[in-house]
Structure 1
Amino acid sequence: MSQLLSLEGPEHARAVRLRTERGVFAALDVPALGGSAEGGVGPTALLVPGFMGSKEDFLPLLSGLSEGGVRVLAVDGRGQYETGDGGSVEPSYARPDLVEDLVAVVGAIGAGPVHLVGHSYGGSLVRAAVLDTAGDPELWASVTLMNFGPAGVSEGQQERLRLLLSVVGSMTLADMWPFVRNDDVDTPADVVEFLERRWLSNVPGQLAAAAEQMLNETDETDRLAGLSLPTCVLSGTPDETWVPEGVEKMARELGAAFVRIEGGGHSPNVHRPAETVSALLGFWRSCADGSARGVAGRRGAAARGVDAAGR
Structure 2
Amino acid sequence: MSSNATFTLPSGARAYRLRTARGEFAVVDSPVAGGIEAKGTVLMLPGFTGSKEDFTQLHEPLGARGYRTVAVDGRGQYESDGPEHDEAGYAQTELARDVLAQVAALGTRVHLVGHSLGGQIARAAVLLDHAPFASLTLMSSGPARISVSQQQRVKLLRDALGTMTMAEVWAVIQTMEPPEEVGGPAVGPGDPQRLRSRWLGTRPAQLLATGRQLCTEPDRVAELAAVPLPFHVLSGAYDATWPVPLLDEMAVRLDARRTVIAGAEHSPNTDRPLPTARALADFWDGVLTRPRTPRTDP
Fold conserved (TM > 0.5)? yes
**What CA distance in whole angstroms lies between the structure 2 residues aligned with 1:71 and 1:188?**
19
SS at match of 1:156: helix
Residue 268 of structure 2 corresponds to 268
Per-residue CA deviation, residues 43-63 of structure 1 (Å, 9 max, x unaligned), is 000000000000000001010
- The size of the alignment, in residue pairs, is 283
Match of 2:165 among 169, 172, 179: 172
How many Å apart are 1:188 and its aligned residue?
A: 11
Residue 144 of structure 1 corresponds to 137
Give the aligned residue type for 1:25: F
**What CA distance in whole angstroms lies between the structure 1 residues aligned with 2:232 and 2:256?**
5
Residue 3 of structure 1 corresponds to none
How many Å apart are 1:183 and its aligned residue?
A: 2.5
- Indicate if the aligned counterparts of 2:236 and 2:260 stay in contact, CA closer than 8 A: yes
Structure 2 matches for 1:1-311, cutoff 5 A?
7-33=7-33, 40=37, 42-85=39-82, 92-110=89-107, 112-133=108-129, 135-136=130-131, 139-181=132-174, 182-183=177-178, 190-289=190-289, 291=290, 295=292, 297=294
**What CA distance in whole angstroms lies between the structure 1 residues aligned with 2:293 and 2:121?**
18
Q: Between Structure 1 and Structure 2, which shows a larger proportion of helix residues?
A: 2
- Indicate if the aligned counterparts of 1:113 and 1:141 stay in contact, CA closer than 8 A: yes
**What is the TM-score with the length of structure 2 in the denominator?**
0.89
SS at match of 1:169: helix
- Indicate if the aligned counterparts of 1:41 and 1:285 stay in contact, CA closer than 8 A: no
**What CA distance in whole angstroms lies between the structure 2 residues aligned with 1:188 and 1:100?**
26
SS at match of 1:107: helix
How many Å apart are 1:163 and its aligned residue?
A: 1.2
Change (3 A) 1:221 1:298: closer
Runs of 4+ in 1 over 6 A off after TM superposition: none
Per-residue CA deviation, residues 131-161 of structure 1 (Å, 9 max, x unaligned), is 111x22xx00000000011111111100011
Give the aligned residue type for 1:120: S
**What CA distance in whole angstroms lies between the structure 2 residues aligned with 1:90 and 1:17?**
23
| Structure 2 unaligned blocks of 5 or more | 1-5, 180-186
User: What percent identity do the matched residue pairs reach?
Assistant: 43
